[in-house]
Amino acid sequence: MQLSSYIAGNWVSGAGSGAVLRDATTAEPIASASSEGLDFAAVLEHARAVGGVNLRRLSFHERAARLKALARFLSERKEELYRLSYATGATKSDSWIDIDGGIGTLFVYASKGMKELPDGHVYVDGPAEALAKSGGFLGQHICVPLEGAAIHINAFNFPVWGMLEKLAPALLAGMPAVIKPATATAYLTQLAFRLIIESGQLPEGAAQLICGGVGDLLEHLTCQDMIAFTGSASTARKLRTCPRVLERSVRFTAETDSLNSCILGPDAAPGSPEFDLFVQEVVREMTVKAGQKCTAIRKAIVPASRGAAVVEALRAALEKVVIGDPRLESVGMGPVASLAQRREVLEQLARLRREAQVVCGGSAAPALVGADAERGAFVAPTLLHCPDGARGRAVHEVEAFGPVSTVVAYDSVEAAIDLARRGAGSLVGSVFTADDTIAARLVLGLAPFHGRVLVVNRHCAKESTGHGSPLPHLVHGGPGRAGGGEEMGGIRGVLHYMQRTAVQGTPDVLTAVTERWVRGARELEPDQHPFRKPFGALRIGDTFRSGERQVTLQDIERFAAVSGDYFYAHMDEAAARRNPIFGGRVAHGYFLISAAAGLFVDPPLGPVLANYGIDGLHFTQPVKAGDRIKVRLTCKEKSLRLGQGYGEVRWDTQITNQDGATVAQYDVLTLVSERAVPGA
């Protein structure tokens, strides 16, 4: 069976027989893949002219809702993916990382899209910048979707997660994707993609799939397209230096395999929780996915005085690992993805053996359960020991992309940092120590050369997500050898697919562009108190201006009694006079907020359901007894919560005194009913 590609809304097969894809355990053929004869220029044109247009019609929240629905759809059908995943060499727990991890990433981005992005089409990046004294000319950074296609070129080791962790932020940003999975495991990616299309959640053209090579795809890129790549550094270099990519300044981000380290702190003696946790983590990272993780631990960096104990503990643990057919429940580690991958691992292992001693494993075929060592792509979990890592070279340059790790000794914290940094850029480093001071030194030493640093001790171990687990909330990527790029990282990952533009103009222009009221823009005078208007009737700029209230000494003293706040600046005139900021007794800041609410709140039952917070509160000038305050309340931003019957409304709030000077400013956050409340 030849894998079909999904192009311009149709499943199509490439010409020729293509590459044969085989079961990693049995070597039985599963499918073939070929993209020969496909019109790659048409692929990009369909993404731009159809997919991008359809996605950009939807708001951020509508896209987020579709991601959530898609995640639920896949969750209900994931067992079909699990059954096919065994063919890649993955055990059930390996598949959980790939399949459930990918679906979980969709859920996270759906949630973040609803909570952290506006219910609109423009992302406002930071506050407005005043460019003139009068406040009549401002600057504002905005982000809008690129109007091209996102080319996603993925690695073989995570056929589902690798696709979904790129697809989720791209779709949320409003950019269509062209997905090119690694050929060796493309059959699992294609199955997941078929389910995505079956869900009906993606607009036409939002995603296309290429099974096989990319042909002349890159020759048709424009400045509005981008490439996100995961794989080898050599392939990344070829893509990055493609003439068309350079000529059109095509955005390019890469996440490449790197030499990741795990450091045992000098305080972690044998028998301590941190020592045991370190051993467990190294063994897990060597055997999960048969060590085929871009984040796997390649260097276990340990104090020289603990070297023998660590080596013995790791050897004993690795000898207990059951290797064989991943379909069997008793098996803890399956094969690598293919016979070609096995050859690659053994070739790199031979280079490492020139300067490190094999403790266990090696090139010999491992003992297997339910599998044939000749047909299956099995590699024994192999631990090496390099007592003098400072003089080693291969251990810092050569990666055997399989179940292989090397124990390297250090004499000081600074030496441990140096050994980790010799990888010349890594995706992740981890530290196991109970000493927070040592942890801080190691983190700050590792940070410039690592995209992520994990610190584990006895207190957080049960909740730790582990050394090798990229999370959608945090950046995944790293400098230097790790590719120099970033993926995910919450909303940061969405912004990779958007253009940041500085807009200059009047407050009214910025309000129109951003759909967010900017101070200085026109204030609208509603025919009734804004709190009487349901969500749909509220307009950006609707404003309420209150009458005045005089602040009295009695107000200050009563608020102190109610709140228990007897700070001297409010209660002791003589002491307050010595305060260089106040020069006498002043009202409590939180009294001003409470008094302001009394001035702008409309008490009867109405569309306002709840006040759920205050953002950006600043007290800018003290208020003393005898001063008079008033409030301006303006509808700043609206965000409908789809299907909830209400929306969030942000109110720009300013308290001024009798001289018109601002004494406090902040945003009030309310939940407002979509419809008028019966009986109100």
Tens-place pLDDT, residues 113-140: 999 999 999 999 999 999 888 888 999 9
- 292 and 206, same domain (yes or no): no
Mean pLDDT in the chain? Answer: 92
CATH number of the domain at 333, please.
3.40.309.10
Catalytic residue among 211, 294, 386, 635: 294
- 164 and 310, same domain (yes or no): no
The confidence score (pLDDT) of residue 298 equals: 94
Residue 437 lies in a domain: yes
The confidence score (pLDDT) of residue 80 equals: 94
Contacts of residue 576, Cβ cutoff 8 Å, sequence gap at least 6: 568, 569, 570, 582, 583, 584, 585, 586
Q: What angle do CA 647, 653, 655 make, to 5 degrees?
A: 160
Residue 545 lies in a domain: yes
The confidence score (pLDDT) of residue 317 equals: 95
- Give the pLDDT band of residue 8 (cuts 50, 70, 90): very high
- 241 and 98, same domain (yes or no): yes
- 229 and 288, same domain (yes or no): no
Residue 451 lies in a domain: yes
Compute the distance between CA of residue 211 and CA of residue 18 in angstroms, rounded to an integer: 10
CB 300 within 8 A of CB 406: yes
The confidence score (pLDDT) of residue 103 equals: 96
pLDDT single digits (tens) 606-639: 899 999 899 999 999 999 999 999 999 999 999 8
Contacts of residue 549, Cβ cutoff 8 Å, sequence gap at least 6: 595, 598, 599, 628, 629, 630
- 229 and 378, same domain (yes or no): no
Compute the distance between CA of residue 405 and CA of residue 310 in angstroms, rounded to an integer: 13
Instruction: Give the type of residue at 88.
Output: T
Catalytic residue among 255, 281, 285, 648: 255
- 527 and 631, same domain (yes or no): yes
The confidence score (pLDDT) of residue 20 equals: 87
The confidence score (pLDDT) of residue 675 equals: 83
- Give the pLDDT band of residue 2 (cuts 50, 70, 90): confident
- Give the pLDDT band of residue 680 (cuts 50, 70, 90): low
- 282 and 231, same domain (yes or no): no
Compute the distance between CA of residue 88 and CA of residue 181 in angstroms, rounded to an integer: 14
Place of tokens 């697919």: 497
pLDDT single digits (tens) 593-610: 999 999 988 888 889 999
- 372 and 334, same domain (yes or no): yes
Residue 220 lies in a domain: yes
255 labelled catalytic = yes
Question: Within 13 A of 595's CA, how many CA atoms are on the CB side?
Answer: 28
- 220 and 306, same domain (yes or no): no
Residue 513 lies in a domain: no
pLDDT single digits (tens) 89-111: 999 999 999 999 999 999 999 99
Instruction: Evaluate if residue 679 carries a pLDDT over 70.
Output: no
- 317 and 408, same domain (yes or no): yes
Instruction: Evaluate if residue 393 carries a pLDDT over 90.
Output: no
Residue 491 lies in a domain: no
- Give the pLDDT band of residue 13 (cuts 50, 70, 90): confident
Extract the tokens encoding 131: 């460019």
147 labelled catalytic = no
Could you say which of 469, 484, 511 is where a domain stops?
A: 469
CA torsion sign for 198, 217, 57, 168 is positive
Higher pLDDT: 71 or 606? It is: 71
- 239 and 266, same domain (yes or no): no
- Tell me, what DSSP letter sits at residue 164? H
How many independent structural domains does the chain possess? 3
Number of neighbouring beta carbons within 10 Å of residue 568: 14
Mean pLDDT, rounded, for 640-653: 89
Mean pLDDT, rounded, for 380-391: 88
The parent domain of residue 71 ranges over 2-120+151-252
- 584 and 455, same domain (yes or no): no
CB 514 within 8 A of CB 651: no
% the chain with pLDDT above 90: 75
Instruction: Evaluate if residue 364 carries a pLDDT over 80.
Output: no
Instruction: Evaluate if residue 1 carries a pLDDT over 80.
Output: no
- Give the pLDDT band of residue 283 (cuts 50, 70, 90): very high
